[in-house]
Structure 1
Amino acid sequence: MASSQDAWYLALLGLAENFRTLSPPNIKLCIQCLQAVFTFKPPPRVEARTHLQLGNVLLTHTKNIDIAKHHLEQAWRLSQMINNAFDDVKFEAASVLAELYEQQKQSNLSKPILRKAIELSQHSVYWHCRLIFQLAQIHATEKDYEVASSLLGVGADYAHISNACYTRVLFLLSKGMMLLTMKKFQEVHPLLSQAGMLIENWQGNPHQKEYLKVFFLVLQVCHYLMAGQVKSVKQWLKQLQQSIQIIMSPTWPTDDVISGSSVGDMFLWMPKEHLYVLVYLVTVMHSMQAGYMEKALKYTDKALTQIEKLKIVDTKPILSVLQLMLLEHIAMCRLVTGNKSLALQEISQAFNVCRQHPRLLDRHRPQLHTLLGLYAMNMNCMEAAELQFTAALNTSQERELWTFANLNLAIVYLRAKRDADFSALLERINPETLQSHSHSLRAASYYVRGLQSFFQARYNEAKRYLRETLKMANAEDLNRLTSCSLVLLGHIFLSLGNSRESMNMVTPAMHLASKIPDVHVQLWASAILKDLYRMSNDPNRENEAYQMHCNYSQMLLKDHFQSTQMPEHNLIHWTEGAIPNITGNNHPPSTSSTIM
């Protein structure tokens, strides 16, 4: 029979829960009932649990963060003194308190709590795994990927010993994600192979198998895309799209069913609605690398619409991360298709997402500088482009982004006839010694060398580089690089007076560019075609090519002028510090009308 103290406590707890679950809830009375428990000087187990409940209620329903933190600290302190089974209060208090410290950018306080809780929780499979995931996430957020990867490896071993088969694969795949982030491709391959075998031989819950399969396939697709292997990834991407359709079907059970009935397997990487958006994102990434811009635009629209729907009821940061990455990719697509003003709007939207989530600005600053550099190049604002690419290089430690920025910076120097600056950069973009795992970036570096040789009228050397680009681009269906190389070869043959070979290059370049569609290559190709038809005394086709060239020029000039009038155009001058206010007009717009 409960003591009178227990009776008072249970009565007050019942009242508090009643007030909390009213519609609408009466949080003030709920908090008063919980606070009243302390007036009866309850035993430590009751006091600790009440502090935890108060902390959770205050965090969820009020802005009294400091008071909530005080109660959670008390719950964590008291629960450690209780020797009997008091796991839920002890470890929940540690987890929630660590999360609160993390939100307040006090990871120096959150990490010791989680380490202590992990040490104490080895007998509790669920909490031990959950706390390891949480600590690994903090280290990953701080870009301490080595420690995060090591923790996830410990988690995988512990889950294996504890017979938590599903969670073991989750740990392995999460470690694979860290290794991909660190570009440790040699270590990723065996780990993904191990996880793939475990999933293939899965004998348990079929829904868990499909869920793990989606996580595995996302990593496989990202692995290939990071290596610039657009053609090789197609089979994996197709499997991923089929798997996500199964998960999103009306007959698929809720997420709590997927996470399993076993206490050690009650985890999800991310909800299926988030997975759905993620699959859209990797599809956009593939479409863009392959040079299917319209396909990329279509999937981006669908993904952004889905994010807006989810954001109405879901405020998880991952949605903003996915939204930002989609906006970055779609802005690049717009630049290729000649829509600079739309690209500028999407870059501005990306900045707005970063304003709402300052941590995202820290992580994506190099990508934003790179985007602005690409936009400035398209606007022929070469000084601004150089500043932006330099800012990207100064703020990034990511090898592939460095290579991408350097390749574009090299084109800026070529177009500005700054041979000395190009030569200084040459070692960093030399395809023979390129420090990059990406097939597509190495192919692009051959193209830039070909472009340099073309500008120096070393045509045979240019042809050698461009044929290497074509060989690599065709091997992995890199359509945009193929079209650029073909049109440049066409220009070279025209310069050499070989009109037949020039036509053999420019015609497929034009066809491919129209499929992408790449307006800049179409503009370039139509100019060459005009000259070729004039040389072959074909006035009708010459006139057609001339009209085509005029249409592309007018379209690009109109868009160019429209972009210069937008206040967002001033973003090209931002290289450091906080995001600028772009509603003003602090800088005069560019007056350049040169497109090529």
Structure 2
Amino acid sequence: MKMASTSNEQPWYTALLGFAENFRTSNPPNIRLCIHCLQSIFTFKPPPQIEARTHLQLGNILLTHTKNIDAARAHLEKAWSVSSSLSANDDVVFESASILSQLYEQQNQVQLAKPILHRAIEMSQQAPYWHCRLLFQLAQIFAIEKDFLSACGLLGVGAEFARTAQSDYTRMLFLLSKGMLLLIDKKMKDVDECLSMVSGLIETYQGSPIHKESLKVFFLVLQVCHYLMSGQVKSVKPALKQLQQSIQTITQIHTDDVLLSEPLSGNPVDLFQWLPKEHMCVLVYLVTVMHSMQAGYMDKAQKYTDKALMQIEKLKMLDCHPLLSSFQLMLLEHIVMCRLIMGNKSMAIQEIFQACHVCQQQPRLFTTHGAQIHTLLGLYAMSMNCMEAAEAQFKTASKLTTVSDLKSFVNLNLAIVYLRTNRQTELVGLLESIDPEKLESGSHSLKAAAYYVQGLQAFFQARYNEAKRYLRETLKMSNAEDLNRLTSCSLVLLGHIFLSLGNNREAMNMVTPAMQLAGKIPDVHVQLWASSLLKDLYRMCGDSHNEAEEFRMHSSFSQSLLKDHFQSSQMSEHGLIQWTDGQCPFHLCSTSVGSSSML
């Protein structure tokens, strides 16, 4: 923060400000003397404009260079109080409102921030840049509070203001931000209208190439997420490919040093950036991982997760932005599911623990992701055959979330727990919430999964014809959108049903492609199941060579899973499956094993 002064100010003020700036920029900086110079200004009883600006400068210095948050807050409050009472509004009033509100937000006192931002927005009509910035800031607070109606209203006001200020770029930033909140709020019809409008605006936009490509990336990220939230894994591919091409275009745009140091537009309303280029790259990795997971390409998901996490670690060394922690947490959530499918439970539980540590560094993240972490613990406990713990984790997750997709996913897994433990009474209580025709979630993939769970229930009750009917519905839906994991699970279960009915030929026709598909994913549990069935089928056919091969494969998968199961059970992190309330038990760590387990 450079300390500027104006030409008509007193010599004592200019001198003290110059000394303060000299101490601030010296190598190493002398912050104590910088603060001392600024505080000396008050002994001259300066006019209100200088008083307000000095309080703002002190607040900024204390926030940036010290841990004295209370003193910083006091100076910022004074800066706002003095500057907001003056008739001539300058940057001091708006900057103090913005920074003070950010500080209140960090201290979980948003009710103090909102009236200040409302007042500053009213005052900033003639300061276009600050008006837009303050609208974005207040909308973000409402979004965090899940008051999406108020947030979208403010973003709509911002879009209209940017239009009148002749800034197509910032108008689209407001509209895309609104589209993002509508997507989170599941207002799909409104999302379609918003994205349709912005699509046309981007096509006709005549601004800088960097602005155009960053808007395109924002638009395509929303479009891809829209498809993925609807479980349309195949339909999303063209948009995802476009997104990957667009991020490559951004990283390949060569700008010389002069261009980088100059604004991309002469309009002050255009001085906004959605995300830095490096953050955009991480985000594109993240949505690629989300797609790979839903489609059932675990190797691909793992590869892009590794790349994204490495990029995040590099970026965190330069600037530990909260958004990077959000990206890191979402990547960990996906890689944990990957590990469980691929039969690597020991890495999965360590990564769940790592996700808890990310939440510890950014406590707000546990508010938004606590349900997901307990869901992952439930999936891990299921894979370890700890069904009581799995049930407790899924019930905890269900209490913590209002998101329909996550609730449906949790209920489907809870139903499998009840099926595996033969708890019919509890299962009956869940049946309506997982009925594919009444599913609260509108996701194609979750509806297909609901048919699979119904097929599984019918199989357990030996209602084979009914089971086949449900599973064929799952296959129809999963084939339509390339849901490979659901396809392989349905095929192997159908094979098991045909084997139970004595129809060995049909069983072989189902299990063979299931095994091939499971190998491509790779899904170790389906491979274990399929190799067991194939071993029996080849024995019945008298094919001893293939029977021996399947026996070898079944033994290999079984030994690998048993070894990993034992390793996981000995890890102290395994004790997390007993945690359902309060803070994460951070005394657990990967260096202690066995005896320190909470089990």
- TM-score, with normalisation over the residues of structure 2? 0.96
Task: Supply the AA of the counterpart residue of 1:365.
Answer: G
Report the alpha carbon displacement of residue 87 of structure 1 after superposing the two structures with TM: 2.1
Q: Which of 261, 270, 286 is residue 266 of structure 2 equivalent to? A: 261
| 1:46 alignment counterpart | 50
Deviation for aligned residue 1:459: 0.7
Q: Which moved more, 1:140-149 or 1:333-342?
A: 140-149
Q: CA deviation at 1:148?
A: 1.2
1:241, distance to aligned residue in structure 2 (A): 0.5
- Picking from 210, 213, 216, the partner of 1:210 is 213
The answer as to 2:230 corresponding to 1:227 is yes
Q: Which residue of 2 aligns with 1:160?
A: 163
**1:17–1:30 CA contact under 8 A, matched in 2:** yes
Q: Which residue of 2 aligns with 1:323?
A: 328
Q: Which residue of 1 aligns with 2:552?
A: 547
Contact 2:381–2:577, Cα closer than 8 Å, also in 1: yes
Q: Determine whether 1:360 maps to 2:344.
A: no
Who is 1:34 aligned against?
38
Report the Cα distance in structure 1 between the residues aligned to 2:266 and 2:484, rounded to whole angstroms: 48
Distance 2:7 2:567 in 1: 78
Counterpart of 2:588 in structure 1 is: 582
CA contact (8 A) 1:5 1:40 kept: no
1:498 paired to 2:503? yes
Q: 1:3 to 1:447 in 2, by over 3 A?
A: closer
Conservation of the 8 A alpha-carbon contact between 1:259 and 1:267? no
> Which structure 2 residues correspond to residues 442-461 of structure 1 after superposition, within 5 A?
442-461=447-466
Whether 2:60 is the aligned partner of 1:56: answer yes
What is the Cα deviation at residue 24 of structure 1? 1.2
The SS at the match of 1:248 is: helix
- Return the alpha-carbon distance in structure 2 between the equivalents of residues 19 and 493 of structure 1: 82
Structure 1 vs Structure 2 CA RMSD: 1.5
Shift of the alpha carbon at 1:471?
0.5
Q: In structure 2, how many angstroms separate the alpha carbons of the residues matched to 1:406 and 1:400?
A: 10
- CA drift at 1:255: 7.2
Which residue in 2 is equivalent to 1:523? 528
In the alignment, is residue 305 of structure 1 matched against residue 310 of structure 2?
yes
Alignment deviations for residues 420-459 of structure 1 (CA, whole Å, 9 cap, x no partner): 1111100000011111110000000000000001111111
Distance 1:261 1:524 in 2: 65
Offset, 1:359: 1.1
Q: CA separation in 1, counterparts of 2:146 and 2:573?
A: 31
One of 470, 476, 490 as aligned partner of 2:475: 470
How many pairs were matched up?
Answer: 588
2:572 and 2:597 in contact (8 A); partners too: no
Alignment-mate amino acid for residue 79 of structure 1: S
Matched residues in 2 for 1:78 and 1:357: separation?
33
Deviation at 1:4, TM superposition (A): 9.5
83, 91, 94: which is aligned to 1:91?
Answer: 94
* Residue 363 (structure 1) shift: 1.2
Matched, 1:238 2:241: yes
- Counterpart contact for 2:168–2:205, Cα < 8 Å: no
* Aligned match of 1:20: 24
The residue identity in structure 1 corresponding to 2:581 is E
What percent identity do the matched residue pairs reach? 66
Cα separation, 1, equivalents of 2:366 and 2:22:
42
CA contact (8 A) 1:293 1:517 kept: yes
Q: Secondary structure at the match of 1:270?
A: coil
Name the structure 2 match of 1:479: 484
Cα deviation code 1:257-303 (max 9, x no counterpart): 67633101111111111111010000000001000000000000000
- Asked if the contact 2:21–2:34 (Cα under 8 Å) also holds between the matched residues in 1, the reply is yes
AA aligned opposite 2:19: L
Q: Deviations over 1:304-342 (max 9, x none)?
A: 000000000111100111001100100000000000001
Counterparts of 1:570 and 1:260 in 2: how far apart (Å)?
A: 56
Cα deviations by residue, 1:365-408 (Å, 9 ceiling, x for unpaired): 10000000000000000000000000000110110000000000
1:419 aligned to which of 420, 424, 431: 424
Tell me if structure 2 keeps the 8 A contact 1:255–1:272.
no
Q: Distance in 1 between matches of 2:146 and 2:469?
A: 41
- Which residue number corresponds to residue 153 of structure 2? 150
1:386 paired residue among 391, 406, 419: 391
* 1:509 maps onto 2:509 in alignment: no
Task: Give the letter for the 1:10 counterpart.
Answer: T
Task: Decide whether the 8 Å contact of 2:232 with 2:481 is kept in 1.
Answer: yes
Q: Is the 8 A contact 1:210 1:247 kept in 2?
A: yes
Instruction: Please give the alpha-carbon distance, in whole angstroms, between the structure 1 residues aligned to 2:264 and 2:432.
Output: 50
Partner amino acid, structure 2, of 1:144: D
User: Residues 405 and 257 from structure 1, CA distance in 2 versus in 1: closer, same or farther, beyond 3 angstroms?
Assistant: farther
Which 4+ residue blocks in structure 1 deviate beyond 6 angstroms? 2-5, 253-256, 584-587
Report the CA distance between 1:250 and its aligned residue: 6.1
Output the amino acid matched with 1:110: A
Quick check: 1:199–1:209 contact (8 Å CA) kept in 2? yes
Residues 458-508 of structure 1: per-residue CA shift (max 9 Å, x gap) = 111111100000000000000000000000000000001111111110011
Which amino acid in 1 is paired with 2:170? Answer: T
Q: Please name the residue that 1:594 is paired with.
A: none
Show structure 1 runs of 5+ residues with no match. 591-596
One-letter amino acid of the counterpart of residue 190, structure 1: E
Q: What is the match of residue 342 of structure 2?
A: 337
Amino acid at match of 2:20: A
**Aligned counterparts of 2:436 and 2:447: Cα–Cα separation in 1:** 6
Q: Whole-Å Cα distance in 1 between the matches of residues 500 and 99 of structure 2?
A: 69
Q: Is the 8 A contact 1:208 1:258 kept in 2?
A: no
- Provide the rounded CA distance (Å) in 1 between the counterparts of 2:386 and 2:224: 36
8 A contact 2:121–2:135 mirrored in 1: yes
Instruction: Tell whether the 8 Å contact from 1:570 to 1:586 is kept in structure 2 after alignment.
Output: no
Residue equivalent to 1:134: 137
Q: TM-score, normalised by structure 1?
A: 0.96
TM-aligned CA distance change 1:587 to 1:427, over 3 Å = farther
Q: How big is each residue's C-alpha offset from its partner over 1:230-253, in whole Å with a ceiling of 9 and x where there is no partner? A: 000000000110111111226157
Q: Distance in 1 between matches of 2:581 and 2:261?
A: 45
Counterpart residue number, 2:576: 571
The equivalent residue for 1:247 is 250
Answer yes or no: is the 8 Å Cα contact 2:210–2:253 preserved in 1.
Answer: no
Q: Which segment drifts farther, 446-455 or 252-261?
A: 252-261
Is the alpha carbon distance of 1:250 and 1:176 closer, same or farther for their aligned partners in structure 2, counting shifts above 3 Å?
A: closer
2: CA distance, partners of 1:374 / 1:586: 24
